Amino acid sequence: MSLVVNNSHTSATKSKAYKVAMITGSFPDAPCGVGDYTARLSQELARQGIHVSVLTTDLPEIKPPQPSITVCKVVKSWQLYNTFRFVRFLKAMKPDIIHIQYPTREYRRFLLPNFLPLICWVIFPKLCRIATIHEFSIAHKFRKIGMIFFLLLSNKIIFPDKREASAVLKWFPWLKGRYTVIPIGANIEPVPNIVSSRRIAEIPYIVYFGFATKSKDVITLFHAFKQLLIHGVKCKLVMITYLSDDDHHVMKELGIEHAITVTGYCTPEQVSVYFTNATACVLPFKDGVSLRRGTFLTALRHGLPVVTTIGENVPEVLKNWENVILTPIGDYQAMSDVILKLFHDPVLRNKISDNAMELGKCFSWDNIGLQHVALYSSMLT
């Protein structure tokens, strides 16, 4: 186990300084959306007077985001044989709350995270157990079953949006009354002093951001982008991600490799610069857009017109052709048509940009932190 850093905590509120053990497999600079979210949440909780200790994986790339947070690299991996190491650390820490973020990339398929609620229930029965379930609706059925201890033994479950809560209730209807919904925020805020100089790229480009996983339809994006080139649009596609060999093969087959930049990992500042100068952001989710998507919220916070996909339950705050553009899942022609319209219609582009930025203000970290502090207080008093 290695301890990264801890300095004095700055309190922004007069709330009791609860001690929270925040459990996450990933943390910056290890690439993971939930890890980035946990860092932002921990920063905000510390600002509001909560003593946060992040318990995470022992990886060299994990670094503390600011001195007000203790980052403890507890285990090399999340295999069950590390249980006793984890328990010894919790005994020494003596937290008021254990708050587990699930899933994260560095948990991989190891079982220790799934058994943590049971372990804490047996060994620390008086410890308040909270779990934030970021992803259930698109999880494999065996992974859903693997969340049973979170749902049975957590004192409270947090979901990032109503759609995830509804998906869980279909499987576990008895959970009703034991959960709450607290939205996530943008993991990357606009870099100061460059927002006013937007859309200054020499060659206009659209941007994709986020892991190219099975839940993201980058192949449809590639086909839509090819249609833009066929229509004679002089533009580029910037993919802020890593792509598989299969993805690169599709790009080559379509003859669009020359017009695509694949950045790999970028710092938050670099991502913000890419967003600020882009014409639009395209996010083709296979299950449709939702408010649990940090990449989508990041685009909103940058006032970037977003072209994305429409699922079964579109959040009420999303208004098609007002603050977002929604296209059918898998329909590359429809996606290409609306991107083309954005390129040729600056009035529409600016309207959606302004409305997106206004909507993005609703997902402030200050409010998210306040909701967590209120929940912690209600559980401990």
SS (H, E, C) the chain: CEECCCCCCCECCCCCCCEEEEECCCCCCCCCHHHHHHHHHHHHHHHECCEEEEEEECCCCCCCCCCCCEEEEEECCCCHHHHHHHHHHHHHHCCCEEEEEECCHHHCCCCHHHHHHHHHHHHCCCCEEEEEECCCCCCCHHHHHHCHHHHHHCCEEEECCHHHHHHHHHHCHHHCCCEEECCCCCCCCCCCCCHHHCCCCCCCEEEEECCCCCCECHHHHHHHHHHHHHCCCCCEEEEECCCCHHHHHHHHHHCCHHHEEECCCCCHHHHHHHHHHCCEEEECECCCCCCCCHHHHHHHHCCCCEEEEECCCCCCCCCECCCEEEEECCCHHHHHHHHHHHHHCHHHHHHHHHHHHHHHHHHCHHHHHHHHHHHHHHHHC
pLDDT value of position 13: 42
Question: pLDDT digit string (tens) for 178-228?
Answer: 999 999 999 888 887 655 445 556 789 999 999 999 899 999 999 999 999
pLDDT value of position 193: 65
pLDDT value of position 284: 97
pLDDT value of position 2: 46
Tell me the pTM: 0.84
Question: pLDDT digit string (tens) for 112-136?
Answer: 999 999 999 999 999 999 999 999 9
pLDDT value of position 192: 77
pLDDT value of position 194: 58
pLDDT value of position 304: 95
Run means of pLDDT, 10 residues per run, the chain, 381 residues: 43 66 95 92 95 96 82 95 94 96 95 96 96 92 92 96 92 90 92 59 89 94 98 96 96 97 92 94 96 94 96 92 97 97 96 95 92 96 84
